[in-house]
Amino acid sequence: MVGKLFFIFGFIAAASAAVKLQELYSWNVLDWNYPDPYLKQQALQTGALIPQNALPVGIERWRNKLFVSVPRWRGGIPATLNYIPLDAPHEPSPKLTPYPSFKENELGDCENGLTTVYRIKADQCDRLWVLDVGTYGYDPNVTNLCPYAINVYDLNTDQRIRRYVFRPEDIVSTTFIANIALDEGLSCEDTFAYFSDELGYGLIAYSWEQNKSWRFSHSYFMPDPLVGDFNIAGLNFQWGAEGIFGIHTSPIGPDGYRTLYFSPLSSFTEFSVSTRILRDESKVTGSYKDFKVVGTRGPNTHTTAKVIDSSGVQLFNLIDQNAIGCWNSASELKPQNTAIVDKDDIGLIFPCDIKIDRGKNVWVISDRMPVFLESELNYGDINFRIYFAPLDSLISGTVCEPFPPLVSTPNTLQIPNSISPYYNIGLETLSQVPPQIFLPATSPRPLTSRYPLLSQNIIPKFPNNAYFPQSQPEKPNVSYRNPWFLKRNYQVFERPQA
């Protein structure tokens, strides 16, 4: 199986020298893997499966799984969270496999199942973060079957390890949350998640360690009333009420914190805020000036999804242009400093989600969403596509290429940007050594062991044939409270206190 995966990705990597994004999967209509034909036939007869009602919206890659979310906007969706096994024999239009199971995707089972999922995100501690919005149907015919709840799964065991329901104070009457951004610190416990409330115009922060959430409000979360008109796939429509949508965190900065970049859907402007603010519940009030205007992408640059690589390169979808754009965050954000890395007026109609995996490979899903919502899809045509390409091939020759790296001196130390042992491990065929950051060799505060690791998944269960870089050091036998990846021959720094 692994050999097949190597062959697929190796072929794509070779082809990417001539072409940009490579189509890996495509569908006229989605379908699901059932345990046997009888159960599938029964589902079709009862309306539990109506393939024409399914629209994929979110993706995430973890090792040999490519996750795909399908919201329950209409009836007949048997599972809202699914995956495609990347190590299986390649099929151009694979059936979706429910994750973790059909039972745990049961409509309306609030405590044990998932009702509707949009975006998903895997972290470097092998956890999958899933927000169940708990709704059935699409505006204006929406039913709230379950509360907004964060569900976190251990990807090594396929078991849910936490469910957290947002507080009433976090939700307003118009709340609609579709996006997740993660802020990973110095340990698995030191993880925050951020959620953009598109129609409630808020940003919700959640601390794994505290198991608590809080809500920020700001005028930068509001839509721009001047750019609420959209033209996609020959359709003209107005999404003028759409506020904060696309969000993602940067690599850790010199101050020990990340930057959260965000933009309303009905806007061409990018904004930001330090996670130093978002991590502190007391900053919910009095932090107005800590939110910054980054710049503008220029006309016709509505975006719903963005991601930032460890080198600081941001990729974002351009839903007006059937394209994927880029910007090097080390430069000023203005139209001259952005570029289109790929464009396809057929295949990239509404490139809904974009991710970069641990091997610096880009994944894009397109789904013709406005046609699905505002008109009617032609199921004799290809409607949904998933693309793949190495990041370096996409940005090669553009203004987004990273600047030449700094040269280390005897007074500098190289520290892995992610400070994580899991970055380069898994079924990666195009893995690269993660870029390095350079910090002074002295620090006012040495790192302490006050960050306990998540006991459920501190030791990943790797397959025997998993890919390990040749330079991977052996793991010393140390205790969990003194994790081995903080015991190497370099100094790591504790985040300064606010």
Cis amide linkage into residue 435, ω under 30° from 0: no
pLDDT of 141: 83
The better pLDDT of the pair 334, 492 is held by 334
Nearest by Cα to 348 from 386, 380, 314: 386
Region of poorest pLDDT, from 87-96, 160-169, 196-205, 436-445: 436-445
Nearest by Cα to 77 from 115, 42, 111: 115
284-337 residue pLDDT tens: 999 999 999 999 999 999 999 999 999 999 999 999 999 999 999 999 999 999
Given a cut of 90, whether residue 215 has pLDDT beyond it is yes
pLDDT confidence of 434, banded at 50, 70, 90? very low
Cis amide linkage into residue 92, ω under 30° from 0: no
Beta bridge partners of 202: 197, 217
92-102 residue pLDDT tens: 999 999 999 99
Given a cut of 70, whether residue 477 has pLDDT beyond it is no
Given a cut of 80, whether residue 269 has pLDDT beyond it is yes
Distance, CA of 267 to chain centre? 21
User: How confident is the model over 428-450, as a mean pLDDT?
Assistant: 31
For residues 341 and 328, the answer to whether their CB atoms sit within 8 Å is no
> Left if phi > 0, otherwise alpha if psi is -120 to 50, otherwise beta: which for 147?
beta
pLDDT confidence of 161, banded at 50, 70, 90? very high
For residues 490 and 419, the answer to whether their CB atoms sit within 8 Å is no
Q: What is each CA distance from 210 to 168, 181, 206, 213, in whole angstroms?
A: 17, 18, 8, 8
State percent of the chain over pLDDT 90: 73
Tokens 């091997």 -> residue: 359
51-90 residue pLDDT tens: 999 999 999 999 999 999 999 999 999 999 999 999 999 9
How many Cα neighbours within 13 Å face the side chain of 296?
Answer: 8
292-296/306-308 β-pairing = unpaired
For residues 138 and 118, the answer to whether their CB atoms sit within 8 Å is no
- C-alpha 132/C-alpha 71 separation (Å) is 10
State percent of the chain over pLDDT 70: 77
- C-alpha 151/C-alpha 180 separation (Å) is 12
Mean of per-residue pLDDT scores for the chain: 83
Say if residue 438 is exposed, middle or buried (CB neighbours under 10 Å; 0-12, 13-18, 19+).
middle
For residues 97 and 33, the answer to whether their CB atoms sit within 8 Å is yes
